[in-house]
Structure formats: structure tokens, C-alpha cells
Amino acid sequence: MSVALGITRPPLVRTVPVHHPEDLVARLPQVAPYAWVHRGDGLVAWGEAARVAVPPGKGRFEWARRWLATVFDELRVEDEVRVPGSGPVAFGSFTFDPDVAGSVLVVPRVLLGRRGGHAWLTTVGEPPIDLMAPAGTPGRVVYGDGSLSAPQWQHAVARAVTEIRSGRLEKVVLARDLVATGERDIDVRLLLDRLARAYPGCYTFSCAGLVGATPELLVRHTGSAVESLVLAGTTYRGATAAEDRGQAAALFASAKDRHEHACAVASVRQALTPLCAALDIPAEPELLVLPNVQHLASRVRGRLADGASVLDVVAAMHPTAAVGGTPTGVALDVIRELEGMDRGGYAGPVGWIDGRGDGEWGIALRCAQVEGRRARLFAGCGIMGGSDPAAELAEAQAKFRVMRYALEG
């Protein structure tokens, strides 16, 4: 008997080519969805063939890798497509803090994928009959403070600046939460549709109630190739093209933002160097322009030395300085002291892995944890020695707009 799957005989996993779907999200039925979509390509899925709560602790990624190996090894697989994301796939969300429970892995029953001109359908066992229904709106949405009010959070930022100037650390990322409540249950499909349309350059994701559109790719793993998109340093979009250019020029000239970005790139270099036979890191960042903000961005590419799976790379990289701070251990201590909340999956790894060890994982930013009529929204800011609490609060408010748009339209 399969312990992981809870059945006597492992089911058949069958992947077949299908007609190219115009809209992946529109194909989701009225059940809890799983999704990873970028510029129209990606994966959407539903149902649960297997699910596990990953135990907290430093070895959680290794535990997850072993559990997945057990599940995937027991499956009977017929894969007519054989591309990353075909065959058996698991979606996952890991908490930001390794010592906090809440990490989960799910092998869905049905998956629809699209990538590089290919489209495919994967089923585990007999596909369920799922009802299609239009996504409903939550009605009027009201907002309330999360763990800290705006003045309390500004005070936490000021305390973090004091810690940095004392020499205790170089950078810390402080997050803030808001609580949104709708008149009716929040349909995750509606959020996914709005996010994918408004932010096609981001990675729109859904896993176990955590839904969002992150601009930050933690790692893409294809064969021996790995890629990461490092973001740190943020400014607003201007009202005109001239203002946009001025904001971008100021961002590139900002010593605070350039140092913050350098810290984030250094943490990725430190994590990937032991795993890679080759690593390419650009000398200067580029500009990533999103509908609401602009970021300093560096695209890091490498080639793995020993064929590690994507979860091995995730384990080595999380948490990066872009979402934790520098040095990592001290930054995590300061976050626990000052934030006054459990981040849950916010700023943790979220994504998918297939039976070959390939996959894509992002950092869960611009997101919310949805349960019934309630959504808990998150936003974070990199705090440096020169940070101004009022400016950081304004940056967090700008980042909240992503999920507020998804809820309100």
C-alpha cells in the first residue's frame, strides 16, 4: 500500500497534448485552484491526489524532497509531452520562518499546462467531474489594521534604523499586513484573473489559499540550468513618461537602493556558488518596470554542478537578503522582535516541482492569504540605515495596491 497516497494501488499519471488554451485561468473550475502563470504560459491545477503538511525546522526542504521522491517513485507515468511541468507535478508553499508551521505540498488531480507552444493535460487516476461556474465578486470590501497600525509600524521601522546604525546589521526587511473582509466569500479565480491581466510580467500564483502576483523569481530550474531574478530597490511610477524617467534615474542614483540591491545580489551569489559549475551575475542592475512600481533587477544565471533538484536550490537560497536582510541570522532575529506578526507564507518560497526535479519557485510577494470572506494582505520594505519611516510606509501602501486591485477591480 502507498503510504503517501493512501491507496492500495498507485494511480496512473497520464499527460497528453491538448489544443492550445487561450486563457489558463479561465479553465479553472469552482474548486480551490493551484496556479503558476507568467505572460499567459504556466500551469493551473485543481483537486488533490496527495497533500502533506511539511514539518517545520531547518531540514524541511530535505524532508519535502524525500516525501516527493516517495510519491513520484510510486506513480505509474505515461507522459506523451515530456517538457518541464508535464508528468506528475507538486505545488508548494513554504513559510518564511523555518520554525513556523504551515508549509504544504500538494500533488493535484488535474493539471493544464502551456509552455513554449506546447499545451498538455495531466490527470492522476480518474479525473473528477468538476463544475464550471463564473467567478463571483466579494462585494464591498472593508479594510482594517493587521498586526500593527500605521504609526506602530513606522515606529518599528525607526527602531530597525537604529539597530542598523548601531552596526548590528546592514539591512532588514520589515513586512506589514492588512485585513480585508468581503460581503461574500472571496473567489480566488477572480483574483488570479485580475492579477494575470494587470501584471502579466509577474508570476501569478495560488497554493493552499496563498494567492498573489510576485515580480521576484527565486529560481527556475530546467535540466542543469538555473536562473534567478533578484529585486531590491524600489521607486514609484510617475504620472507621465518624463516623471517615470526621473524616478528611474533617481533610483539608479540612490546610494541606499544601490546598496540594498548589492546586498541582495551578494546573498544569491553566496547561495548559488557552491551548487554551480558556472555562474553569471551582471555587474550592473537593470530596471524592471511594473504597473505600480519600478525595481532594480539583476538576472542571475548558472549551471548546476551535480544535477540538484529545484528544491535543493530553494533550500540554499531562502531567505535571500531581498526578503530577510543582511546578515541573515541577525535580520531574522530583528524581524521576530519588531514585526509583531507571523508572516505565514508571505516572503516564503512558492511554486512547483515536477518528477524530473525541474520547476519554478518565486518569493511570495504582493500576495494575500485567503480564507472565506477574509484576506490577509502583505507588503514589505527593505530598511537601511538611511531609511525614512514615512517613506517606507508610503512604499508599503503602494505595494498593497496590487492585491487591493485584485479584490476590488
Torsion sign, CA atoms 298, 384, 242, 199? positive
Alpha carbons within 13 A on the beta-carbon side of 306:
7
- 170 is a catalytic site residue: no
Which of 98, 78, 96 has its CA nearest to residue 87? 78
CA atoms of 304 and 286, how far apart (whole Å): 24
**Under a CB-based contact definition with an 8 Å cutoff, are residues 362 and 320 in contact?**
no
Characterise 163 by phi-psi region: left (phi > 0), alpha (psi -120 to 50), beta (else): alpha
**Under a CB-based contact definition with an 8 Å cutoff, are residues 74 and 3 in contact?**
no
Phi/psi for 69 (5° steps) reads -60, -40
CA atoms of 354 and 357, how far apart (whole Å): 6
Per the residue annotation, which of 170, 216, 360, 392 is the catalytic one? 216
Longest dimension (CA), the chain: 65
DSSP character at residue 156:
H
Per the residue annotation, which of 58, 62, 163, 171 is the catalytic one? 171
492588512: which residue's cell?
178
Number of residues assigned to the chain = 409
**Under a CB-based contact definition with an 8 Å cutoff, are residues 114 and 20 in contact?**
yes
DSSP character at residue 28:
-
CA atoms of 98 and 401, how far apart (whole Å): 28
515580480: which residue's cell?
215
Whole-number CA gyration radius for the chain:
21
- 58 is a catalytic site residue: no
**Under a CB-based contact definition with an 8 Å cutoff, are residues 88 and 105 in contact?**
no
Q: Is 160 helix (H, G, I), strand (E, B) or coil?
A: helix
Which of 221, 231, 359 has its CA nearest to residue 288? 231
Which residues does residue 52 pair with via DSSP β-bridges, in sequence order? 105
What residues act catalytically? Answer: 171, 216
